Amino acid sequence: MNASTKAYEELVTRLKRTALLGSCSAVLEWDEQTYLPREGAEHRANQLALLAGMVHEQATNPEIGNLLVELEANTSLGEASPEMANIREARHEYDRATKLPRRLVEELSRVATLSQHAWVQARKNNQFQDFLPWLEQMIDLKREQASAIGYQGNHAYDALLDEYEPGATSEMIEQAFIPLRNELVSLVSAIKNSGVTPDISLLTRKYPVEKQREFSISAAEAIGFDFAAGRLDIAAHPFCSGFGPGDCRLTTRYDEHHFPGAFFGTLHEAGHGIYEQGLCKEHFGTAMGSSTSLGIHESQSRMWENLVGRSRAFWDHFYQPAQKLFPEALASVNQEDFYRAINDVRPTFIRVEADEVTYNLHIMLRFELEKSLISGDLKPADLETAWNEKFVEYFGIAPETSANGCLQDVHWSAGLIGYFPTYALGNMYAAQFFNAAEKELGDISKLITNGDFAPLKEWLNQNIHRRGKLYRANRLVEVVTGEALSHGPLIDQLQNKYHELYNL
């Protein structure tokens, strides 16, 4: 064993140990969102702050820096080798982490826990002012974090964005969003003027919660989520937590009189879960055992939710089982009317319940607002007013409650600033990946109609999941699809689908 090999093995050992401790925090965070009694919030905040500090201490151990220097000086590995990817991403994470004082890391964790509990109550009571002090505190902490990490140019937001989409900048995001927004606005306008109005009232009939749960689990299992290595629970805001090999948790929320919310939310989170379960177990704790970026992660959830779950082929397979489970709601509804209802396009307040066409506009609104919050151009106290004004500008409707407006998402209370753009990036990535899969697998709709989801899942496992962070997101798209990131494939898919649905 030469010195470089020994140094690499020591680096991997340290990375895995840090990841293992971090996964302990993730379990407590999941429990916080699902089962923790309200009165336990402060104690949980202290627990998570302590663990965050411990993880930070391990992640910033100077010995990791020494190992990286040795490996970077002596390695002759190719740029696309698994070992080089682990070294490259370990350097990226180490450099970010060592710029942050442990005090700030612990305070961010503590405040995020308390802030999320305050958000849940404020959202429930429709009281933005109750959440405002926590938002102000979180924005101050995130600005401090951005300043400590550093950034090039004038956008402190870039330091936060890099945590979720490594290498991306706000300028790159804006360049991707502008042509997408222009095309979406035109398509929304054409749909609005089409005169076609699907009957969406059939989706608000009575759908018993237990039956929704049963149906959601059966669909998630069918597309490839392994419930022997995961579970589904309830949370105020749906999410997926991958703790490590063999343990991936999904959450959703139910409304007895709104079928799409829980069902498509569960498919979405199952898409995340399939990615987590598809990562290489032996690489846990290293870049090669981690998802490429949140944009790539979102491509998986949005693909299963929309390109598969809202397709005609999917309901060719699942509609009869749905009618049997929900006879009171669907016995008299023909499949075509149901299909048109779940693909209805119209401005709505809630992002996670938005249709495919308007969804990205929800993301662009949040992207603009959180950038302004970090830059200081927008004061937290003015967020609700700014949100409502921009919502009217984007959608032509004004939220009547805080819960339907700026309090609907958990992200800002949790300090996840820079996360939102990855949803729209994910939609673009998903369209390109789906096209590439179809070139290899043939007509995927025929497979879906027959309930055969395994070929698509295996293609994603092989081409995306098992590659970990071998490539950064933009490069991965090029390797898998042969093309750079583009809004074109997404627009083409939306136009093909909705031109037919709305007789455009």
Cα distance between residue 161 and residue 174, in whole Å: 13
Residue 2 is predicted with a pLDDT of 59
Total domain count for the chain? 2
Who contacts 475 (Cβ-Cβ below 8 Å, separation ≥6)? none
Whether 70 and 208 map to the same domain: the answer is no
Distances in whole angstroms, Cα of residue 402 to Cα of each of 129, 138, 168: 10, 19, 31
Of 3, 18, 7, 1, residue with least CA distance to 286: 18
Pure H helices in 99-169: 102-125, 128-149, 157-164
Distances in whole angstroms, Cα of residue 347 to Cα of each of 50, 144, 262, 360, 451: 43, 36, 19, 12, 32
Distances in whole angstroms, Cα of residue 429 to Cα of each of 46, 246, 419: 38, 27, 16
Whether 140 and 228 map to the same domain: the answer is no
Based on its alpha-carbon atoms, the radius of gyration of the chain, rounded to whole angstroms, reads: 23
Q: Which of these three, 86, 121, 150, is where a domain ends? A: 150
Whether 307 and 390 map to the same domain: the answer is yes
Whether 139 and 44 map to the same domain: the answer is yes
Residue count of the chain: 504
- Does residue 156 lie in a domain region? no
Domain that holds residue 63: 3-150
Q: Which of these three, 150, 184, 212, is where a domain ends? A: 150
- Does residue 44 lie in a domain region? yes
Whether 175 and 106 map to the same domain: the answer is no
CATH code at 174? 1.10.1370.30
Cα distance between residue 100 and residue 17, in whole Å: 20
Residue 1 is predicted with a pLDDT of 44
- Does residue 159 lie in a domain region? no
Residue 129 is predicted with a pLDDT of 97
Whether 118 and 222 map to the same domain: the answer is no
Whether 312 and 456 map to the same domain: the answer is yes
Q: Which of these three, 91, 122, 150, is where a domain ends? A: 150
Cα distance between residue 271 and residue 240, in whole Å: 9
What tens digit of pLDDT does each residue of 343-384 get? 999 999 999 889 999 999 999 999 999 999 999 999 999 999
**Which residue's structure tokens are 């083409």?**
492
Whether 145 and 178 map to the same domain: the answer is no
Cα distance between residue 263 and residue 253, in whole Å: 9
- Does residue 160 lie in a domain region? no
What does the pLDDT average to over 217-242?
A: 96
Strand order across the 240-244 sheet: 230-234, 247-252, 240-244
Of 290, 340, 323, residue with least CA distance to 92: 290
Whether 389 and 267 map to the same domain: the answer is yes
Alpha-carbon dihedral sign for residues 406, 408, 410, 413: positive
What does the pLDDT average to over 84-103?
A: 97
Cα distance between residue 307 and residue 301, in whole Å: 10
Residue 74 is predicted with a pLDDT of 78
Whether 186 and 253 map to the same domain: the answer is yes
- Does residue 157 lie in a domain region? no
Asked if residue 84 has pLDDT above 90, the reply is: yes
What tens digit of pLDDT does each residue of 62-75 get? 999 999 999 998 76
Cα distance between residue 258 and residue 263, in whole Å: 9
Helix, strand, coil shares, percent, the chain, to 5: 70, 5, 25
Whether 106 and 221 map to the same domain: the answer is no
Cite the active site residues: 269
- Does residue 155 lie in a domain region? no
- Does residue 16 lie in a domain region? yes
Element (H or E) spanning 374, and its range? helix 356-375
- Confidence class of residue 237 from pLDDT cuts 50, 70 and 90? confident
Do strands 240-244 and 230-234 pair parallel, antiparallel, or not at all (unpaired)? unpaired
pTM listed for this prediction:
0.95
Of 404, 428, 296, residue with least CA distance to 351: 404
- Does residue 252 lie in a domain region? yes
- Confidence class of residue 206 from pLDDT cuts 50, 70 and 90? very high
Q: 310-315, long-range: CB within 8 Å, 24+ apart, which pairs? A: 310/264, 310/342, 310/343, 310/356, 311/445, 311/448, 312/339, 312/445, 313/444, 313/445, 313/446, 313/448, 313/449, 314/448, 315/339, 315/342
What tens digit of pLDDT does each residue of 49-60 get? 999 999 999 999
Q: Which of 139-143, 195-199, 236-240, 298-302 has the lowest mean pLDDT?
A: 236-240
Residue 80 is predicted with a pLDDT of 76
Cα distance between residue 420 and residue 427, in whole Å: 12
Q: What does pLDDT average to over the chain?
A: 96
Whether 122 and 253 map to the same domain: the answer is no
